[in-house]
């Protein structure tokens, strides 16, 4: 379910054209339709207001002036654990010996 403050990709004719953050979703007079305020994350920043059905907000394709448009919620990819090979690579943080400066002063 896409909601306020989510980031979406806007697809135009099946091509991604922009990212946008959903600033607000408020009900329209018509049932299952909503006013969606989008902040287009591009230069210059631009705010647009679209009236969309709930299914369109959640990724169903729709048309504007005969052109196909679709919103897709951006999901942050999960971080993966590094492989054993990567962990053992010299020069990587965590594989180097830490030398205490306090211990060096004592000598």
Nearest to 6 by CA among 16, 20, 26, 17: 20
Region 19-26 average pLDDT: 98
Q: Which residue has the higher pLDDT, 17 or 83?
A: 17
Say if residue 104's pLDDT is above 80: no
Sign of CA dihedral 81, 85, 88, 93: negative
Domain range for 59 is 7-73
Cα separation, 66 vs 62, whole angstroms: 9
Residue 61 in any domain: the answer is yes
Residue 102 in any domain: the answer is no
Question: What's the whole-model pTM score?
Answer: 0.71
Structurally, the chain folds into a number of domains equal to: 1
pLDDT at 74: 96
Band of residue 57 on the pLDDT scale cut at 50, 70, 90: very high
pLDDT at 100: 78
Residue 37 in any domain: the answer is yes
C-alpha Rg value of the chain to the nearest Å: 24
Residue 79 in any domain: the answer is no
Q: Which contacts qualify for 45-49: CB closer than 8 Å, 24 or more apart?
A: 47/23, 48/20
């Amino acid at each position: 379910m896409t909601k306020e403050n989510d980031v979406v990709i806007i697809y135009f004719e099946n091509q991604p054209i922009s990212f946008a953050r959903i600033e607000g979703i408020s009900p329209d007079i018509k049932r299952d339709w909503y006013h969606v305020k989008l902040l287009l994350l591009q230069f210059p920043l631009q705010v647009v207001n679209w009236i969309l059905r709930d299914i369109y907000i959640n990724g169903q394709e729709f048309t504007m002036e005969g052109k196909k448009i679709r919103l897709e919620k951006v999901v942050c990819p999960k971080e993966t654990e590094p492989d054993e090979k990567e962990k053992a690579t010299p020069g990587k943080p965590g594989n180097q010996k830490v030398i205490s400066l306090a211990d060096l002063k004592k000598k």
